[in-house]
Structure 1
């Protein structure tokens, strides 16, 4: 039986393995096999008289690149052999993408590894940079690498880790496609998505097609976000819903803007974690400014990536003011042939651009004032969506 191969990858310390473990605990009854590449590296290394551990793998890979390449290649060959002999429907292969440290780098996979693996989909698992920073501080082995000093953990470093990891994937997938290996999509997936959404993504994509949820994300009251979350939950009953808020770095920048506006001379920015207001991070102003230049681009590219892989977008515009981000996402959806559904419950007419894009669902040129009616229309019309 030929099953689907899904590569799960991303930058280091983004919580990939922990998230996958939590999600897959809920996957009872699903036909899948899980291959953690690090375990295969340890097994092959042991057979060659090399002890590979979580603590030494980084230094070993940088200082003994040729031997590490041989071990990694053998690990992928063993995984491919197990996949070929398996009767499972889904094969999940997890490994980091690319990680630069000092003057060296650790490569999670090469083009030849991917040609052997032949992934049908690639999912880049990501966490917000402040959570990655917290993860380093709370990990004694990693914190020691940064001199046990939080000030040494720069946001600029963490966003570059992400940049390198994503670019490595994009480059190799581009080369794979030139060689005739069809990767259906590369998806940047934030780990703040509920585990159930990840399971829908992996196992139930045909029954619950991908839909991107677009909504104005900043400057609203708590009640607004409760409404968005309620709509997300209702939509998720029928679709695999991708939420841009599941990877949110921009609130760090917003808090920086607020504090600089109050005190233009401030040098250190105190930021409460979005999900845990009891903990406060203190960051250098210059570091946030440098990281912001990269984060701006990453935010736009990530949201467009989610739109591009989705068959439809659901715009939940429970705000009268025009959102440049939402309009841009609707335009991108229109460009990529995704169906567009707009919930806009106000009597005042929206901008002509929003109105134009919001009338691109398959059977009716209409916007919706009732969110449940919009969800019903999406369910009824999903078989007629142009994007496959």
Structure 2
């Protein structure tokens, strides 16, 4: 039977397994198997007389690299054998990508591991850096590694963890393709997506093709974001909708800019957590400055990644001012031959570039002034642009 292997990976402490486990709760497991690679590593280690735990795995992997490589390779071989014997359609394999710690690094998988696994898709599961920092503080084992001191947990470290993990995946997938093993796509997936969207992505991609939601993201009143969220929910009834706001590091940078503008001599930046609005983090100004350049680049690369894997983008431009980000995303979609649907409800003409890119949908309309009409057009024309 046709099997699909999906590698779920990413940097450490980004909530990958917790998010996936929660999303899969209540889903009929007759259609899928879920393989947590670390469980297999512990099993193989135990058989070889090596006790591997969450607490000692980093030190063991760095100090006994050859033994750890053998154990990891055997874990992947066992997973591959289980996949081959299975009569289920979807096989979800979860493991970290690459993790540098101290003077060494821990590799979640090698090229030979991926050649054996032959993943059809790779999904890099990501969380925003402040939530990762918070997760470390709330995890006694990890907090101990940082000396039980929040000041030791630098944003620069966390963004480099992400950088290393993503680059490791890209490099190996590139090598896989040279070996003739085709991975349909690598997708950077933020865990602020509703679990239902993750399930659509995994199990219902053919029925609900990937659509990227593009919208101006900063400097708007609260009512604007409610409108965006309502549109997202309506669009998600028909498509698997990828939201750039599901991984939001930009508010850290924006808050830094606001406080430095008010007080150029400030040393500590106080930031309320985006999700609960109550917990206040105090971060070193210098640390944010060092992390900002990497965060800005990662934001652009991630959004372009989401555009590139999508069959269409839905532009919800409920703002008269031109958004450089939205225009860039429309241009990227045009470059990759994705359908572009533009909602722009104002009498004032938009930018000629926005108007030009907004014509790149099968109905050849310049723009839609009614969001429900645009969704109907996307549904009616789905067969056209999903085959393009």
Q: Deviations over 1:65-89 (max 9, x none)?
A: 0000000000000000000000000
Looking at structure 1, the residues matched to 87 and 47 of structure 2 have their Cα atoms a distance apart, in angstroms, of: 27
Contact kept in structure 2, 1:338 and 1:387, CA below 8 Å:
no
| SS of residue in 1 equivalent to 2:270 | strand
Asked if 2 retains the 8 angstrom alpha-carbon contact of 1:2 and 1:87, the reply is no
Where does 1:46-57 land on structure 2 (aligned, <5 Å)?
46-57=46-57
Task: Give 1:201's aligned residue.
Answer: 201
Q: 1: CA distance between counterparts of 2:383 and 2:116?
A: 34
Q: CA deviation at 1:26?
A: 3.5
Show the counterpart of 1:102. 102
Q: Say whether the 8 Å CA contact 2:356–2:366 is kept in structure 1.
A: no
Q: Secondary structure at the match of 1:157?
A: helix
Deviation at 1:386, TM superposition (A): 6.1
Alignment correspondent of 1:5: 5
Deviations 1:336-356 (A, max 9, x none): 000000000000000000000
Partner residue of 1:292? 292
**Which residue number corresponds to residue 135 of structure 1?**
135
Aligned to 2:217: 217
Alpha-carbon distance between aligned partners in 1 of 2:301 and 2:29, rounded to the nearest angstrom: 35
CA contact (8 A) 1:311 1:385 kept: yes
How many angstroms does 1:182 deviate by?
0.5
1:321 partner SS: coil
* Aligned positions, number: 388
Aligned to 1:359: 359
**CA distance in structure 2 between the partners assigned to 1:177 and 1:373 by the alignment:** 41
Provide the C-alpha distance between the structure 1 equivalents of 2:84 and 2:357, rounded to a whole number of angstroms. 45
SS at match of 1:5: strand
Aligned partner of 1:374 in structure 2 is: 374
1:302 aligns to 2:302 (yes or no): yes
Question: The residue matched to 1:205 in structure 2 has which SS?
Answer: coil
2:271 matched to which residue of 1?
Answer: 271
Deviation at 1:30, TM superposition (A): 5.5
Are the equivalent residues in 2 in contact too, given 1:77–1:116 (CA < 8 A)? yes
Q: Cα–Cα, structure 1 residues 228 and 346, in superposed 2: closer, same or farther, change >3 Å?
A: same
Distance 1:70 1:31 in 2: 31
* Counterpart secondary structure, 1:385: helix
Deviation string 1:239-287 (CA, Å, 9 cap, x unpaired) is 0000000000000000000000100000000000000111000000000
Structure 1 segment 36-115 matched on structure 2, within 5 A: 36-115=36-115
**CA root-mean-square deviation:** 0.8
Q: Deviations over 1:7-51 (max 9, x none)?
A: 000000000010000001142266000000000000000000000
SS across alignment from 2:381 = helix
Structure 2-normalised TM-score? 0.99
Instruction: Render the CA deviation track for 1:177-230: whole Å, top value 9, x for unaligned.
Output: 000000000000000000000000000000000000000000000000000000
Alignment of 1:139-154 (within 5 A): 139-154=139-154
Q: Match of 2:238?
A: 238
Distance 1:161 1:193 in 2: 21
Which residue of structure 1 aligns with residue 334 of structure 2? 334
Q: Give 1:172 shift.
A: 0.0
Structure 2 residue runs of 5 or longer lacking an equivalent are: none
CA distance in 2, matches of 1:362, 1:284: 50
Mean Cα deviation higher: 243-252 or 23-32: 23-32
- 3-state SS in 1 of match to 2:93: strand
Q: Is the 8 A contact 1:2 1:84 kept in 2?
A: no
Partner of 1:121: 121
SS class of match (2:61): helix
Instruction: Name the structure 1 match of 2:160.
Output: 160
Is residue 320 from structure 1 mapped to residue 317 from structure 2 by the alignment? no
Deviations 1:288-325 (A, max 9, x none): 00000100100000000000000000000000000000
- Cα gap change, 1:197/1:314 in structure 2, threshold over 3 Å: closer, same or farther? same
Unmatched tracts of structure 1, length 5 or more: none
Say if 1:209 and 1:240, in contact at 8 Å, map to a contact too. Answer: yes
Q: Would the alpha carbon gap of residues 178 and 172 (structure 1) be closer, same or farther in structure 2, given more than 3 Å must change?
A: same
| Alpha-carbon distance between aligned partners in 1 of 2:194 and 2:386, rounded to the nearest angstrom | 28
